[in-house]
Amino acid sequence: MRIDFNTTTPRPSFQKVNEKYLKKAEEWYRRRGNINSTWYDSLREDVIIFKDISPQDGVDTMLAAKKYVNEGSMGFFNHVLECIRRS
């Protein structure tokens, strides 16, 4: 699966995106214009604590959901992404 976030950046290649989390991100974006912090916490816990989602799948899910993050929240998004990458 390939998704373009911006035509000036390379196209990332996703292994396995968690559809449940991607749909939730889209829903939050439609309602609030941004992903809610609960979404980040749940994904991070499912990857790091419960290990229900592999770290790589967590990264791929976040990269797919990046289009639903507003500019003001990008720092937090990157922080959570880095936590998942290090797990």
pLDDT in tens, 63-85: 999 999 999 999 999 999 999 99
Confidence at residue 13, expressed as pLDDT on a 0 to 100 scale: 54
Residue 35 scores a pLDDT above 90: yes
Structural domain boundaries enclosing 55: 19-86
Q: Is there a contact between 58 and 43 (Cβ–Cβ < 8 Å)?
A: yes
Evaluate whether residue 40 is within a structural domain. Answer: yes
pTM: 0.81
Residue 60 within a domain: yes
Residue 48 forms part of a structural domain: yes
Residue 22: closest CA among 53, 82, 86: 53
What pLDDT is recorded for position 9? 46
The tally of domains found in the chain comes to 1
79 falls within a domain: yes
Within-domain flag for 3 = no
